[in-house]
Amino acid sequence: MTTKKKIILISLISLGVVLALSLGLCVYGAVQFKKSDKILSNVTYEGVYLGSLTKDEATSLLMSRNLNTSNPIKVTYGEKSFEFAPDGAGITHDIEGVVDQAFKVGRETGIFDLVKSKISYIPLETSYKEDKEVFADTVDTLMKANNVDLYNYEIHIYENSASVRISDDFKLVDYEKLYNDTMAVIDEKERSINLNTYRPEKVTAEDIYERIYVKPQNAAQETVDGKTVVTPHTIGVLCNIEDIEKALSDGKTTFTIPVTKKYPEVRVEHLSGGLFKDVLGSRTTKYNSGIIGRTKNVTQAANRINGIILNPGDIFSYNSAVGPRTPAAGFSVATVYTKDGLVEELGGGICQVSSTLYNAVLYADLKVVERRNHSYTVTYVKNGLDATVAYGFIDFKFQNTLSSPIKIVTSVGGGVLTITLLGIKENNNTVELYTNTVESYPFTEKRVEVSTLAPGEERVKQNGSYGYKINATKVVKDESGNIIRRDFLGTNVYIPLTKIIEVGPAVAAEEPLPEVPLEGGEVTVPEGDGTSENKPEEENNETVAPNEPVSPDAPSEGENTDLPENDSEISSGEETENIGENNEPSSENSSEEVKVPGENTPVTEDTVPEA
């Protein structure tokens, strides 16, 4: 055997020995690994490293991580939307199944994974489990909480009866499609889907019954982390499903059934401790009760927030409490602000309720979470102390920062609206509100020609009002009158409201008639060729008075300034009191402040006191 062949033979034998040893080590390692209680190294799930962990350790680790099912998914229906986290709607990672699968890697998947784990990660496939009944219930709850209504029914509950009107466009949520769409985007960065509906073959009595029936519930009181928490009572509404079934079998889409109110044994007023014995803050404003639509809206909104209880830490949302401003909800058409000025729309006037509530909140020294002033001035509260709302766009929110519950109590009627916050006082502090007019901006005048007026006749379609830049401050004093703190409430900018005057068509100047000559004489013709070039100049249909408005200075960074950057940002839902023309800048509003028992020091334009 040549030297070369010997070398080859020795190399092959050595390689065989190495392979045999390696295989032996792998087999030994596999046997030893299968005896262990650990997951194979380099196994991962959704980026979480599970290698070398026991099943219990891996389970605890995955449960502690914020996996993608905690990230919200946005659901849109028309102009409304709501969000939900899949893990709160019955869709979660199958952690138990994932850990079982991780434990099988290298034990039941072959020796290849044992080798692979030495050089790279082994990611597991995503696995979910779901409870579709919980999913549907969660969607239903969120739709109600966010006022996403399919408007299948118009149901009104009275003391002894309930009226039902079934919509011609009756539809139901397609939960199966919604679930599939949710699973399709659950791993995506952009998680937004649409709410799909379908038209059922028939309306069921059970569906209507569930919307009428309310289970009575007793009020409850408990102490959590040193704070008193109240669960308000619920007045029950009882009815017979047989009455609904009969109406449907008769083919009725509008009907009335008898109901019974069931009052709980324990109501909030029965709870001990005098939870609502003190007036925390109160404000009264006036409105013109002769304006029927607006009065109805003010009354409707005030009644909807009356009796609401906020536990410590709770945040009140005006839009959530009042709900959408629709005819079915009992709202009427009245004057509102738009980018085009004053128009008639549903819900006009409910901003008086939000503004009155805002003042009561300030006097109660509670935390304001969200608030915005109107685009134009209003008359029912001081400039700088109003709070506009527009459903789906602009909200008014505040938080109960006390250690005990508070209750909203409203009184409305006879042109007077009073909102009071009741609770337990934690100190004897008083609150004073100050406003200061920084700048004023004159309004312009616009003349518009209309054919319905006689030539030379004119009328005011819309009165003008000045614009202002106003600072507002809240001063809190102790019972001895010493200033505890001064809170700057923000800079409020109101744009001028243009005065619009409608005028009749201008009278056109008559051309002189040619002179009629005597017999044999010449005809005198006016200069020119008789074409339109020599006709009198026509009046312009629109003219603007020369007093142009002064543009307000840009606010300093951080100021609560609500002047829109352009007309499109002026919400179409801002409600207003009827506006009178302001011929001069004034720091005072026309409405008189009414003092009520428990109301704090009224607003003043005086200089804010120094500490």
Q: What percent of the chain has pLDDT over 70?
A: 74
Is 115 a domain residue?
yes
Is 474 a domain residue?
yes
Is 58 a domain residue?
yes
pLDDT at position 18, please? 63
Same domain, 240 and 314: no
CA distance 153 to 172: 11
Q: Is the pLDDT assigned to residue 9 strictly greater than 80? A: no
Give the phi and the psi of residue 304 in degrees, each rounded to 5: -75, -25
Taking all residues of the chain, what is their mean pLDDT, rounded to a whole number? 79
Structure confidence at residue 582 as a pLDDT band (50, 70, 90): very low
Q: Which domain holds residue 128?
A: 28-138
Is 564 a domain residue?
yes
Structure confidence at residue 592 as a pLDDT band (50, 70, 90): very low
pLDDT at position 109, please? 66
Indicate the range of 234-238, 342-346, 527-531 predicted with least confidence: 527-531
- Alpha helices (runs of H) in 186-291, residue ranges in sequence order: 205-212, 241-249
Same domain, 243 and 295: no
Same domain, 386 and 290: yes
Same domain, 319 and 435: yes
CA distance 99 to 557: 52
Structure confidence at residue 148 as a pLDDT band (50, 70, 90): confident
**Beta carbons within 8 Å of 246's beta carbon, 6+ residues apart:** none
- How many folded domains does the chain comprise? 3
Q: Is the pLDDT assigned to residue 435 strictly greater than 80? A: yes
Is 582 a domain residue?
no
Is 437 a domain residue?
yes
First to last CA, the chain: 110
Lookup: tokens for 148: 């996403």
Same domain, 134 and 161: no
Same domain, 187 and 317: no
Q: Which residue has the tokens 């030893």?
A: 32
**Short-list 423, 447, 443, CA closest to 541:** 447
Same domain, 486 and 367: yes
Same domain, 124 and 263: no
In terms of Cβ atoms closer than 10 Å to its own Cβ (0-12, 13-18, 19+), residue 419 is buried
Q: Is the pLDDT assigned to residue 529 strictly greater than 70? A: no
Same domain, 490 and 389: yes
Same domain, 387 and 498: yes
Structure confidence at residue 40 as a pLDDT band (50, 70, 90): confident
Same domain, 455 and 357: yes
**Beta carbons within 8 Å of 471's beta carbon, 6+ residues apart:** 384, 435, 436, 438, 488, 489, 490, 491, 492
pLDDT at position 159, please? 87
Strand-pairing partners, residue 383, are none
pTM comes to 0.53
Stretch 511-534: mean pLDDT: 51
| Last residue in a domain, options 271, 294, 313 | 271
Is 524 a domain residue?
no
Same domain, 231 and 350: no
Structure confidence at residue 558 as a pLDDT band (50, 70, 90): very low
Structure confidence at residue 2 as a pLDDT band (50, 70, 90): confident
Structure confidence at residue 368 as a pLDDT band (50, 70, 90): very high
